C-alpha cells in the first residue's frame, strides 16, 4: 500500500486502539477497592495513635498570680510561643482554666463572656464551655486546645497544651 493510500482518519489518529491509554470501568473499580484498603489502613493509624493524647510538653511559664484575677475576670498571655495568644480565666467557683485563643473553626480570637461563663467567637458565633473547652454551639468542629496549669505558692504556671 502506498503512503498516499493511508486514510485521513488514520493520519489524524495515529495511535492504535490497543495502545490508547484509557481506563476501563473494571480497572477503575479495582483502583477504587485499592483506595478503600488504603482508607481502612488510615483509620487503623488513628487506632494506633489513640493513646498519644498526653499534653504536649512545653517549658513551664509563670503567667499570673492567683490574686491578680477575681472570679469572672480574664487575663491574656502568650503560650507556648510569643506568637500564640491564650486566655487565663477565673471561673465563678474560683478555679482557673486556660485555653489558646484561636477558635478551632477559622482561627478567629475568642473572648470570655463572663455572664454566660463561656468563650465566644465573634466571627461565626461559635461558643465553648469555659470549664472544659467543649463546643457549645456554632461551627467549631473541635474543643479549644486547653493549657494545663499548676499553682505553686500562688503562682499560676502554664505547663503544656492538650488538643493542639
Partner 1 sequence: MNRNDSWLAKIEQRSQNMMTLLVLVMAVLLIQLWLLSIALEEFMASQSGLAIPTFAASCACLVLNLWLLKYLYDIDRKEDIQ
| Span 3-62, contacts to partner 1 by CB under 8 A | 25-26, 28-30, 32-33, 35-37, 39-40, 42-44, 46-47, 49-51, 53
How far is it, in rounded angstroms, from Cα 121 to Cα 109?
7
- Pick the closest to residue 140 from 155, 129, 128 (CA basis): 128
66-95 residues near partner 1, rule: CB under 8 A: none
The answer to whether 134 and 128 are in contact (CB under 8 A) is yes
The length of the chain, given as a count of residues: 164
In the complex, least distance from residue 88 CB atom to partner 1, rounded to whole angstroms: 20
Q: How many residues bind partner 1 (CB under 8 A)?
A: 27
Report the nearest approach of partner 1 to the CB of residue 135 (Å): 9
Residue span binding partner 1 (CB under 8 A) among the ranges 6-14, 60-68, 123-131, 138-146? 138-146
141 contributes a contact to partner 1 by CB under 8 A:
yes
DSSP 127: E
Which residues are within 8 A (CB) of 158 and not within 5 positions of it... i.e. 6 or more apart? 58, 60, 61, 63, 77, 79, 80, 86, 98, 147, 148, 149
Facing residues of 98 across strands? 88, 147
Which of the ranges 58-66, 74-82, 116-124, 141-149 carries the binding residues for partner 1, by CB under 8 A?
Answer: 141-149
Cβ of residue 33: shortest distance to partner 1, in angstroms? 5
CA distance linking residue 118 with residue 37, whole number of Å? 42
Restricted to residues 97-116, the positions that interact with partner 1 (CB under 8 A) are: 104
C-alpha cell at position 135: 463546643
Q: Give the footprint of partner 1 on this chain (CB under 8 A).
A: 25-26, 28-30, 32-33, 35-37, 39-40, 42-44, 46-47, 49-51, 53, 104, 141-143, 162-163
Amino acid at each position: 500500500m502506498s503512503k498516499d493510500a493511508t486514510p485521513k482518519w488514520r493520519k489524524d489518529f495515529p495511535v492504535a486502539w490497543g495502545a490508547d491509554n484509557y481506563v476501563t470501568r473494571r480497572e477503575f473499580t479495582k483502583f477504587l477497592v485499592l483506595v478503600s484498603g488504603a482508607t481502612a489502613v488510615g483509620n487503623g493509624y488513628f487506632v494506633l495513635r489513640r493513646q498519644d493524647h498526653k499534653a504536649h510538653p512545653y517549658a513551664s511559664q509563670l503567667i499570673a498570680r492567683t490574686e491578680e484575677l477575681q472570679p469572672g475576670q480574664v487575663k491574656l498571655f502568650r503560650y507556648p510561643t510569643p506568637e500564640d495568644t491564650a486566655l487565663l480565666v477565673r471561673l465563678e467557683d474560683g478555679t482557673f482554666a486556660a485555653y489558646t485563643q484561636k477558635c478551632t473553626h477559622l482561627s478567629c480570637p475568642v473572648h470570655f463572656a463572663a455572664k454566660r461563663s463561656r468563650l465566644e467567637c465573634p466571627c461565626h458565633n461559635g461558643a465553648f464551655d469555659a470549664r472544659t473547652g467543649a463546643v457549645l454551639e456554632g461551627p467549631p468542629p473541635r474543643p479549644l486546645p486547653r493549657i494545663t496549669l499548676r499553682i505553686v505558692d500562688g503562682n499560676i504556671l502554664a505547663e503544656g497544651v492538650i488538643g493542639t
